[in-house]
């Protein structure tokens, strides 16, 4: 799955640059809320689950391939409601959308998520290790009017690459766990967002 995601991501971006798609492009903005989810095991091997509320905003473009299919690259900034600016995520999803009915659109596509600490000079309630993630995104869009729509999506983390940052204390390879081996975890985002399309 991870291998196919690496191939699919640049292909979808390339299709967005096609001449016919650019001629039929529309653009919009989104604002939403949701929950961050994490299934994980701690250094002692115990399984657990955590959630935290999030809020985000961003923009998107829509490139129509035909009357049923479109490609939608997006740029989304997400932060934790309980710790704004602490642990943040900058996400670049590229969605392939299929119009099921005039009001309902199904979507699926890969995304890259960069997790980072926006303000490194203070203690964070929900601080995470900075990383670059590759995810898959099933979703659904309900059109409310010609300009407004409601988007619901779950981002599933598939691959994570960790980064060293000098402002963390302890071992830079394991900044949050010290001498313990990093435990297994799988992160995700369940989001609901309002889209406004400029026409």
Task: Provide the domain count of the chain.
Answer: 1
Residue 4: phi and psi, rounded to 5, are -65, -35
The CATH number given to whatever domain includes residue 46 is: 2.40.160
> Which tens digits make up the pLDDT trace of 30-75?
999 999 888 777 666 677 777 889 999 999 999 998 889 999 999 9
The answer as to whether 23 is a domain residue is: no
Let me know if residue 109 belongs to a domain: yes
Q: Is residue 19 part of a domain?
A: no
CA 13-17-22 angle, to 5 degrees, is 130
Let me know if residue 16 belongs to a domain: no
Cα gap 189→84, rounded to integer Å: 16
Domain containing residue 149:
2-8+28-198
With respect to residue 13, please indicate whether it lies within any of the assigned structural domains: no
Instruction: Write out the two tokens for 52.
Output: 């935290």
Q: Whole-prediction pTM value?
A: 0.74
Mean pLDDT value across the chain = 76
pLDDT category at 15 given cuts 50, 70, 90 is low
Token representation of residue 27: 């653009």
């Amino acid at each position: 799955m991870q291998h196919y995601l690496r191939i699919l991501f640049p292909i979808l971006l390339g299709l967005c640059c096609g001449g016919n798609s650019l001629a039929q492009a529309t653009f919009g903005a989104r604002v939403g809320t949701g929950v961050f989810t994490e299934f994980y095991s701690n250094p002692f091997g115990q399984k657990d689950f955590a959630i935290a509320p999030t809020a985000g905003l961003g923009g998107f473009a829509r490139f129509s391939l035909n009357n049923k299919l479109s490609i939608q690259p997006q740029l989304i900034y997400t932060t934790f409601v309980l710790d704004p600016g602490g642990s943040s995520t900058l996400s670049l999803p590229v969605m392939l959308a299929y119009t099921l009915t005039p009001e309902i659109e199904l979507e699926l596509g890969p995304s890259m998520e960069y997790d980072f600490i926006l303000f490194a000079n203070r203690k964070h309630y929900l601080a995470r290790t900075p990383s670059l993630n590759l995810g898959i995104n099933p979703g659904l869009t309900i059109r409310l009017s010609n300009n407004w729509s409601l988007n619901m999506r779950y981002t599933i983390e598939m691959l994570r690459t960790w980064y060293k940052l000098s402002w963390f204390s302890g071992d830079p390879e394991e900044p949050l766990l010290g001498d313990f081996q990093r435990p297994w975890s799988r992160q995700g985002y369940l989001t609901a967002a309002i889209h406004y399309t400029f026409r």
